[in-house]
Amino acid sequence: MKATLVAFVSLAALTVQTSPAAAADVCGRQVGGDILAKYIETGSETGPLGCPTTDEEISPDGRGRYNHFAGGSIYWTPERGAHPVWGAIRGKWEAMGWEKSRLGYPVGDELTNADGAGRRQQFEGGTLYWPPLPGAHPVWGRVGELWGQFGWEGGYFGYPTSDEIPTPETKGIMQSFSGRNAVLWWSPGFDQGDTNHPVCKSECVGYTSVTNTEWVKRTEIARAIKDGQIGGNVDISVIPTAEGFDNADTSYDRLWDQSFSQAPYPDRWLTAEQGSSLYKQLACHARYSIDLGGGPQGGNSWDLEGWAPDVSWDYAMNPLLVWTHLCNWYEPA
């Protein structure tokens, strides 16, 4: 066993030293191999990293190597190469547990985002984003996938402003973003109870935006995960204000615009026919959410089903028919 261990360490050392740069004594510390090459690339001791504060060390998991510096660190693995990590991104990575965290090792250097203001760095398990706001936050998994569908930091939702937060009621997580008062969320599926999202009987993602317009408090949009992708049915929940319950049926166009003034309408997920059906469902709810005592008929939200077929206005709004379809033309299979 001892001979095997010695052979392993010797091989690791040999692997590190196959880079073009030889080991060097820098500020009294040993820096070598690919780490030294990257250090020289960043400007050596006159660059942002400054002088090393440790010799080259083996990572606790035995897979990589690193040097800490006055202004950051450089981490190396044989699969990913050497990459500096510094600033708020390094601070967040450290707080999460370095390479032992879900993020793993860096797979690239820090990059400037398309807006020219923020920064990001990709790791094996996700990406850390630093916005032109306090703090760096990781984005990964289904929330990261959903965020990417809407344009990353340059899209509707802007930068992450929190880490993922558990949501016990949905058995999932949520994460806040800077754009459109938005929260993006994921659930593996949960018991429906009083939920407004039937697509979330199984795995789903979604986003919620506080609207605070005259007629709408907030809008929630959910989509099912199908065949391992964000690609299933869509449902939308509009939570009206008291004024909305009373007067939103006076202008359906205005109600529609207020519903999606913050939460982006998911046109990339829906056809024109589905959009027409959703519009009529919303109009029907606004017309017939009558408070007969004990609260409005249908509850405190107006729930729209993206899989419901388009119907005629007469069918949607006919008072003799509305009590049979309840503004949703049928339940999902």
Both tokens of residue 61? 């998991």
Q: Domain check: are 70 and 193 in the same one?
A: no
Q: Confirm whether 207 is domain-assigned.
A: yes
Sheet holding 302-305: strands in order across? 165-167, 172-176, 182-187, 204-210, 216-226, 229-240, 302-305
* Domain count of the fold of the chain: 2
Q: Confirm whether 235 is domain-assigned.
A: yes
pLDDT-derived band of residue 216, with 50, 70 and 90 as boundaries? very high
Q: Confirm whether 99 is domain-assigned.
A: no
**Closest by CA position to 189, among listed 150, 163, 224:** 224
Tell me how crowded residue 3 is: count the other CB atoms within 10 A of its CB: 7
192-201, 240-249, 253-262, 281-290 — which is least confidently predicted? 192-201
Q: Which of 39, 62, 85 is the last residue of a domain?
A: 85
pTM for this structure? 0.76
pLDDT 10s digits, 96-127: 999 999 999 999 999 999 888 889 999 999 99
Q: Which of 85, 113, 130 is the last residue of a domain?
A: 85
Q: Confirm whether 62 is domain-assigned.
A: yes
Residue pair 172/186 in contact by the 8 Å Cβ criterion: yes
Is the pLDDT at 81 greater than 90? The verdict is yes
Q: Domain check: are 196 and 81 in the same one?
A: no
Q: Which of 63, 85, 107 is the last residue of a domain?
A: 85
Residue 231: what pLDDT? 94
Q: Confirm whether 104 is domain-assigned.
A: no
Q: What is the mean pLDDT of the chain?
A: 89
pLDDT 10s digits, 35-60: 999 999 999 999 999 999 999 999 99
Q: Domain check: are 74 and 200 in the same one?
A: no
d(CA 277, CA 313): 10
pLDDT-derived band of residue 134, with 50, 70 and 90 as boundaries? confident
Q: Confirm whether 111 is domain-assigned.
A: no
Q: Domain check: are 80 and 194 in the same one?
A: no
Domain encompassing residue 24: 12-85
pLDDT 10s digits, 282-300: 999 999 987 655 556 667 8
Is the pLDDT at 218 greater than 80? The verdict is yes
Q: Confirm whether 290 is domain-assigned.
A: yes
Is the pLDDT at 156 greater than 70? The verdict is yes
Q: Confirm whether 129 is domain-assigned.
A: no
